[in-house]
């Protein structure tokens, strides 16, 4: 009896995980994806192409880009004015965001996307997309 109750409690807690407390994944589906692009990164073109593929994967209707200095973009991400930043070097000093799995940039360096902290369903969707892109055909 106690075992059954414990199993029920654990499975009930797992419903809806991972989730997005602020509903990012649900909001961008059919809506707008707000993306920060780091101004001084030479990989902006490749970042845009990768983001456009991700938007199509999610069923996003529109992408709004905000290009700027990295600290400014991170502040906007924290305030919820951006959904993600594409892309950071893998070894970034910023801890105010959730980061995707690393992927190879055009220059061969490992890169990551940053998403708003706590938006775990959105982060998982980004990870799945990036994994599919890295898999050999």
- Best CA proximity match to 71, nearest among 87, 90, 45, 94: 94
What was the pLDDT predicted at 4?
46
Decide if 13 contacts 107 (C-beta within 8 A). Answer: no
Decide if 101 contacts 127 (C-beta within 8 A). Answer: yes
What was the pLDDT predicted at 22?
82
66-113 pLDDT tens trace: 999 999 999 999 999 999 999 888 888 888 899 999 998 878 889 999
What was the pLDDT predicted at 5?
44
According to DSSP, the residues that pair with 99 across neighbouring strands are 114
31-54 pLDDT tens trace: 999 999 988 666 788 889 999 999
**Which has more confidence, 82 or 16?**
82
What was the pLDDT predicted at 43?
74
Handedness of CA 103, 28, 98, 44 (dihedral sign): positive
Domains parsed from the chain with CATH numbers: 35-134 (3.40.190.10)
pTM for the model stands at: 0.81
Position 13 pLDDT exceeds 70 = no
């Amino acid at each position: 009896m106690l075992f059954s109750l414990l199993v029920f409690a654990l499975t009930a807690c797992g419903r809806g995980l991972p989730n997005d407390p602020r509903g990012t994944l649900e909001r961008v589906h059919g809506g707008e994806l707000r993306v920060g692009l780091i101004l001084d990164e030479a990989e902006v073109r490749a970042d845009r192409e990768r983001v456009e593929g991700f938007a199509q994967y999610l069923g996003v209707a529109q992408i709004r880009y905000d290009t700027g200095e990295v600290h400014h973009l991170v502040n906007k991400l924290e305030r919820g004015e951006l959904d993600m930043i594409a892309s950071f070097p893998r070894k970034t000093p910023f801890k105010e965001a959730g980061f995707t799995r690393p992927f190879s940039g055009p220059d061969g360096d490992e890169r990551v996307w940053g998403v708003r902290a706590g938006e775990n369903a959105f982060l998982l969707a980004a990870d799945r997309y990036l994994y599919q892109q890295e898999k050999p055909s």
